[in-house]
Amino acid sequence: MNTFAGGEALTRKEKLWVLFSLLYGIVNVAVPFTILRKAGSFAFWNLITAAVLLAGVWVTSGWAGKTDHEGEAR
Amino acid sequence: MSRTLILAGIALWFTLGSLLSWHARRNLGKGMIEYFLADRKVGGFISAMTYSATTYSAFMMVGLVGLTYSSGIGSLGFEMTYLAATVILMVIFAPRYWAAGRIYRLVTPSELLSKRYGSPSAGAVSAVLCLVMLIPYASVQLMGTGYLLEILSGGAISFTAGMIIAAGVSFVFSWWAGLRSVALTDAFQAVIMLAASLLLLGFIAFALFPEGLPGALLARRDLLEVSWSFPLFLGMTLPWAFFAVTNPQVVQRLYIPSSVGNLRKMILGFSAFGFVYTVLCVVFGLAAAAKMPGLEKADNAMAMLLSSVPAPLALVVFLSIMAAAVSTMNSIILTLSSMFGRDVVKALLPDISEESELRICRLLIPIITIACFFFARMQLGLIAVLSAMASGGLLMQLPATLGAFFWKKATAAGAVSSMVVGGLAVGFMYVEGMKPLGHWPPLWGILLSGAVFIAVSLATKPPLDTDRFLSSVECFVKERFWS
């Protein structure tokens, strides 16, 4: 029995998002604390955050047309 | 700045905010969902702005500016990591909270735990944890406003008077029309926060650094190096990275957008606001370090920066800081009052009518406001410890929250014990000043809390309704968001 709902609960796009987030988490720390420690972190942190925010625009693009005003689900 | 000018500015800001509150009250209906969630009918722009104003407190323009002044660019990494992590979590969790809120008519974040785990004690423990952690955090907003008013007025407005003003405004904005009022005034205050920061940037760039701001900042190469140690970065960032799912005042906002499209606008609007506001605050810290190095107290960097700009601009920036403090505080007060009513009182008196429940919740708004005021007035060192551990303590809800959505074997006993053990462990380590192996208490707390959650859940039986809860939420999310 699969006790984790996550495997079946997440859609393909959500799984991609989780993988992207893990990659972000590693790069976001590894680069500034190693090769960019002396210089370049200001630009790096701005760019990588902008990349995550833009990816958020892409991943949620399918929600955009859904403008129905929901009542309570019954 | 003269006392009269400051008081006139506050009076104008309060009058405009009160007019918005009055307008909100005209549309106020009856019931808990109406009062605390504006009937789940909030538009995209207002949702984005209330989320932003609730998230970004006076810490940004005072604490973050000071942190950047004293420790350089590491603070940008800390704050940007928080922003990116919040957006990452919102993409996964916002649809689930939104769906569960509608399916089960939830009002508070803790109520979701009660429903999922089939036990009111899970919600009650979460609510008590939030009360303990957030009252000091809200008190710090009052203290920040009190100190700033005292400094800017040259002592003409006392620390206590400043706190009374901030507490009074918070009370009026939240009590009058609940979330309808808070959301509208938050949006107004978010616009002030952003507009004032942009004006200040313009003045700094063209008047304070006529030779060029980028060149002046590049001259302070020491501040552009990452001087933070990795344990410091991790200790600061870890609790805040999960803010979006552990702080009830922002989680509750995931229930309010009127549609899927408006929930998306909330996430994207917050992303844009957060990015611009963070960059601005960090630039202010760097500019202050370049212009006036050697301040004894880094947290005074913004106050010193304001002393070198024209009085009208300084007043607008000061009002934006006060707006940030008040918009965070009134949201916390409103959320805590709803949690105490729904997750504690209703757990003890399950047959209470909704009308009586709402009356108790509204009565709690002034009580919590006064509690914050007296807490702040004590000015104890303990407050600093408690407010610092607020985000770390709230992080202990993370295992229970993840389990609620993604682990079928998670149980109420696991959720309750993880929050209690994790909360006590983090509190103990903060009070004792312990940092085992050089790492901060939240790291050890979350490891312990997660281990307890898994062990106790495996040793106990999950509620019978687990599959029904998970499948109802997942079906709703897939159908409405991803189909």
* Cα of B99 to nearest chain A Cα, Å: 9
Nearest to B69 by CA among B267, B248, B258, B303: B303
- Structure letter (DSSP) for residue B254: G
Pick the CATH number of B3-481 from 3.40.640.10, 1.10.150.110, 1.20.1730.10, 3.30.465.10: 1.20.1730.10
Lowest mean pLDDT among A59-68, B366-375, B400-409: A59-68
Minimum-distance CB partner of B88 among A10, A29, A52 = A52
User: How many cross-chain Cβ pairs, A to B, lie less than 8 Å apart?
Assistant: 133
Distance in angstroms (rounded) separating the CA atoms of residues B84 and A25: 9
Residue to mutate among B88, B104, B254, B481, with most A CBs inside 10 A, is B88
Please give the single-letter amino acid code of residue B57: S
What's the gap in Å between the CA of B399 and the closest CA on chain A?
A: 14
Across A58-72, B17-31, B189-203, B374-388, the highest mean pLDDT is recorded for: B189-203
Chosen for mutation from B218, B222, B226 (greatest number of chain A CBs closer than 10 Å) is B226
Residue B108 has pLDDT above 90, yes or no: yes
pTM for this one? Answer: 0.93
| Lowest mean pLDDT segment, chosen from B116-120, B159-163, B251-255 | B159-163
Residue B385 confidence (pLDDT): 63
pLDDT of residue A70: 47
The rounded distance, in Å, linking the Cα atoms of B482 and B473 is 13
Q: Residue B199 pLDDT more than 90? A: yes
Confidence at residue B384, expressed as pLDDT on a 0 to 100 scale: 58
Rg over CA atoms, chain A? 18
Tell me whether residue B30 is exposed, middle or buried, using C-beta atoms within 10 angstroms of its C-beta: 0 to 12, 13 to 18, 19 or more: exposed
Instruction: Tell me if A46 and B272 make a contact (CB, 8 A cut-off).
Output: no
User: Closest by alpha carbon to B134, among B246, B45, B18, B50?
Assistant: B246
What's the gap in Å between the CA of A36 and the closest CA on chain B? Answer: 8
Mean pLDDT within B389-415: 94
Go through B56-92 and write b for each residue having 16 or more CB atoms within 10 A of its CB, e for each that does not.
Answer: bbbbbbbbbbbbbbbbbbbbbbbbbbbbbbbbbbbbb
What does the pLDDT average to over B276-297?
Answer: 92
The answer to whether B38 and B361 are in contact (CB under 8 A) is: no
Which candidate from B80, B262, B482 shows the least CB-CB separation from A45? B80
pLDDT of residue B217: 86
Cβ-defined contact of B267 to A66 (cutoff 8 Å): no
In chain B, what are the domain boundaries? 3-481
Say yes or no to pLDDT of B394 above 50: yes
Closest CA to B129 of B244, B254, B247, B253: B247
Chain A: closest CA distance from residue B96 (Å):
11
